[in-house]
Each structure stands twice: as structure tokens, then as C-alpha cells.
Structure 1
Amino acid sequence: MSNPNTQALSDAGVSIWLDDLSRERLTSGSLAKLIEEKNVVGVTTNPSIFAAALSNATVYGEAIAEQRHKSVEDAITEITSDDVAAACDLFRPIFDSSNGFDGRVSIEVDPRLAHDTAQTIIQAKALYQRVDRENVLIKIPATLAGLEAITETIAEGISVNVTLIFSLERYREVINAYLIGLEKAKAKGLDLSKIHSVASFFVSRVDSEIDKRLNAIGTEAALALRGQAGVANARLAYQVFEESFASARFEALAASGANVQRPLWASTGVKDPAYPSTLYVTELVAPQTVNTMPEKTLDATAAEAEIRGNVVSGSYAQANGVLDALAAQGIDYSEIVSLLEVEGVEKFDVAWNELLEDMSVALKEAK
């Protein structure tokens, strides 16, 4: 039986994806249980998640031993791709029943390539071929260099999860990159109905950075704005989504079978314990969205979330008012979202380098 709160979220048009994956989740039946009981219909991964997963020597010892004669990078690719492929197989019935919108599992290109368009394209194709599952999503960061990589990967008929989006301006560029990719795919005669994409808009990190600055200002007016920026920014992103995919440009592609690029709410774990643990779930309910949650947030949603239907459409004036009030406090939106993108890439770089170091040690011990 599905949990009533997660079922209500699903009924409101929100796809619940788990922001975690490990071999233990797969072999223990933990992930299958979340599918059955909490409406989980997809999975996202990132370097930090794989770094945490592969630290479990008990689960991965044999797999690491099998890779002992390979390079560190190849060993990581082989092991993580095997996990993603197994998860894709688990989600395949959902993929089929949802016509490809859900039942998706994401795997990210090497974050060290975030500013290298050509190498990102090469690795996106290689990962797609290595996982060899139709329901895999290749994660590409929404850096300036990533935009062309998104276009060219989509143009090859490979579905993409665009990650690390913080600003409305960059989100518009991401949508444009997707549409150009679809137009190229159409010109090649590819089946557009098979190409899917999500745009991962990060939420809690926006609040963390802006709240820090509001606390530093310290006035009553500034402190009253804490915890509002992340939701407001995401709601305005949904307005961009609604407008962009109601355009004549997209309608022409839709006539050939093209799918919308759904907004995905990422970084939905609340960082400040003063805020409701389901803040970035209940306040971002809208049709044709994905909410990817760490298990702690998923559990809180199942236990206590009050799902009130679509709370995003029609909220745009209020959301703009929040950003205007922040500007009046001297909060520079453009500077903050640019900083968050840089920090986001750096955090994944750190996690990836830690993973490389840990795997290097593990391979030496396995020889």
C-alpha cells in the first residue's frame, strides 16, 4: 500500500525520485520497498552519493577486486555504471507505464569536465553506451560549457538530466539548449518521443547562502525574509517552464512527438532545522515536476507533509515580491546564483577527488 502523503503528491503531478543509490539498496530490497510503499519512481545520483556508497567495503569489496587491474577512473565507471544499470532494470516497468517520463536513473559525467564542452559530449555518449539502458539519464551541469554539450547530447537522441541550475537566466538558456537539441534531432530524423530531459533547479542552497547574508544584516526586515528565497526562485522557474513550453517553437516540436523538459526540484533537504522538514516539497507542488529527495526528506514527507495541490501556478507576483524585497536589502541575486554555480561544481569536484583517492587505495589493497 502506498503512503497517503506520497500518493497525494504523486496525484498532484509530482514525480518522486530518490536522491540516493547504492548496491546495498538494490540487493537488500530497500529501493524496491520505497517504490512500493512511498511512490518512488526514479533515482538521481551524483559524485557525493557514489563516494558515500563505495566507502562500504563489505558491499563493494568483491566488485573492487574484480577491477584491480584497471585504472581508478575505469574502475569507478564500471562499478557505478553497473549499479545504475541494475537500478534501471528495477525501474523498467515504471518507465514503460509512464511512456518514458519516469522510471529514470541518472548518472553524472565527471565533474572535472564541467567547463570542457567537447569532453563532456564524449563522456556523455560513453556513459550512455556503458549503462546501455534506455531509461538512463545522463547528468550534465548547466555551466556555460555545459549548454552546448546538452544540445549535442540531446541531438544524438540521449536523454539528459541538466544539473546545478540556480538562476532563472541560466534556466532559460538550458531550455533553449534542449530545444536546439530537439530541432537537430528532428533534422536527423530521430524519434523525438524517445528523448526526455529534466532541468534540476537547486533550492535549499539558495536559502542557505541568502539567509547567511540576511543574518549578517540583522534588521527585523532582513530577518523576516529568511527561508523564502529558495521557494520563490523555484516558483519563478516554474513560470519560465510554463511560458517556454507554451511557445509556438515548442508546439512545432511537440507536433513531431517532442516532450517537455520537466523542472526537477533538487537540493530539497532542509539545511536549517528551524524550517519545516518538508518545506521544499509542500511549497513546490505543481504538475509536470519532479522532486528528488534524500531519504530523510522522503520519510518526513510520508510522515507529516500536507499536500495542498498546485501551490505554484499563480504565485508568481508573490515570488517576485520576495526577490524585490531581497534586492531592497542589498542582496545581489545575480552574484549569489553565480557563486552557487561555482561552489556547486567545486563541491562535486571535491567529492569526485575523494572518490578517486578512496578507490585508488582500495584497488591497491585488492591486488
Structure 2
Amino acid sequence: MDACSPVLVVGALLLVLLGASAPTVSAARAFFVFGDSLVDNGNNNYLMTTARADAPPYGIDFPTHMPTGRFSNGLNIPDIISTSPACLLSHLGEYLGAEPALPYLSPYMRGENLLVGANFASAGVGILNDTGVQFVNIIRIAQQLQNFQDYQRRLAAYIGEDAARERVSQSLVLITLGGNDFVNNYYLVPFSARSQQFEIHDYVPFIISEYKKVLARLYELGARRVIVTGTGMIGCVPAELALHSLDGSCAPDLTRAADLFNPQLERMLTELNGEVGHDDVFIAANTNRVSFDFMFNPQQYGFATAKIACCGQGPYNGIGLCTPASNVCANRDVYAYWDAFHPTERANRIIVANFMHGTTDHISPMNLSTILAMDNTRN
């Protein structure tokens, strides 16, 4: 039987999910993930919330062909950055050499699974505590940071305090926040509370200042390599086209918000690196640039469309949720968007490829392959 046959792929996944003995990962780099639905891999499955992706057709292209809580037809960005059990290496890539980190709320987050890292992300959250209140029970970023601290206590109990501290300091961290602070807060409804409190040119510096506190706290908790993604072209996602566009043009207010947010985020990261005394702790990943390329040159990437979601209903398949009753495209590889807001697995792969090998237009001050090579040399 082929080492990467579907039977063994599913079997390997079940070993991880059931906490069975797995190949040691102590030599692999730990990976920690914070943020929203773009990187949530199942924490919201354990919560009473409407922000869930635990029903078909989500997961249709995942190795198990089952929904996992990922807002994707298959793998999401953290999956592709990390790796999975040995027989899945060719499928997921070989970037970190580890199994995918489990959701922090998973009952199997124990023992050797702690060594892999943890995914703390929760769909619906933002930089601000009031972002996503309509989803009721989500893990806001302050709680994600508290969970990271609690995780470290559990890891220390398992491998000792010094080893736990070293494992965290040598880890890679990914954090994705900001989009919901516009889509599900400032612009959620006309005359929202935040839009009454701030003009957009004042709101953006406010959330940037709050984000800086989050990142500074991550540093205090031991993170020393943190990839920070900006927002994509949030005015151009199928949901916003369905609401605001008659001719396929992007929503101007959200486009302006992203255009304000991303440069200010990069400047803040440079400032924060200066404050911690290292220019490569916080790495700025420009997902807006990749989204722009998808939107205006989809054929260059092999996409038939970057405007219509694969799964949904209404104009651009951008209305409502992706459900078993939705339209679902036959070939997910030619769609940049899986649902009204989230990229397909193939689009996620292109995004990660830009993180890994892109120029400073895509990720700065250096790309992820350079970071990993540099750190391997140091270690």
C-alpha cells in the first residue's frame, strides 16, 4: 500500500486526534496560532456560537473529507505552514516539520501533543473586545493570550520549566487579526457604535494602538518569531460584492479601511521591533498584496474567478452561510474564495508560498524560508 494512500492518511489523522502514540516531535519547532476564522482550526466547535464551520460542505477537500471547524474546503494557512504526520508531508508541505497544532480546546491537547504547539484562534474575534459580539461566545484575543499562558503552565508540568521556556522562545507564531474589526464592527451596521465614536482615519490608529498591546503581551509571554498578517482586500470578498456592488467593483469604504490599516500596521511592527531591540521579531505579512493579485489577475494564478465564492447563494455566492443547501462549485481549485469571506485551500497555498519565498513586497523584513534557515543555523 502507498505510504500516502487515503487509508493511511485518515489513520494518521485519527492517531493524532485520539492522542495515540505518534512519532516524536521534540526536534520539530513548535507552532502557535492566534486570531480569527482565517486561522481557526476548530476551537469554535467547542463553543456555543454561530461562528462555526463544523458542517458539510466545509472540509470537503480535507484529507478526511469531513468538516473540522476550519473555514475552508480543506486546509487553512496554519496547516500549510506546519506539517502533519509523515505520510501527509507531501500533501501539507515540509516547512516546520511538525504535526498540525491541535485546537487549544481539544480534549487531546495533552502529553506529546503539547510539544507540537497549539492553535488558540477563534472565528469572529478582532483586535477589540467588542468585535464579534453578535457571535456571543467566542475566544477574544485577551482570552487567547491567557490560554497561551495556561498552555505554558501545562507544558512546564510535562517537560519542566526551563525546557518549556526554551520551546516557546524557539517557536514560530502566526497571528491574524483586524479584518473583523472593520467587517464585523465598524461597518457591520450603519451608524455602528464605533463609527459614531470614531471617523475611520481615527479608528485605524486606535485599533493599531490596541494591536500593539496584544503583540507586546505576546513578546512578554516568550514569543520571539511572530508572523503578523495584515488584512486582505476586505472590500472585495464575495460577501461585500454581494452587498455593495452592481458591477463587480470593490466596496470603497472597506477598501479604504484596508489601505489605511496595512501601512500603519507595518509601521507599528517596525516600531515594536525597535522597542524590543531586534528587527526581526515581528514579521509583517502583506496578505493585501496577494489578495490584490488574485482579484485583478486571477487567470495568472489559475483561477477562473476571484469574485464568486465556491459555496454560497445569491449574487457572487456571497449571501448567507455556506451550508449543505448552498451552491457548491465542482472544482474548488479554480476559485480563489471558498465561501463569502474565506479563501479556498488552493488560494491559501499561494498565500503561504508568498510568506515562504516572497519578496519584501509580500513579507518583511524577510520571508519565512529565510527566517527558518537563519534560525536553523543559529541552533
TM-score (ref. length: structure 2)? 0.37
Bigger RCO (CA 8 Å, 6+ sep): 1
Name the structure with the higher strand share: 1
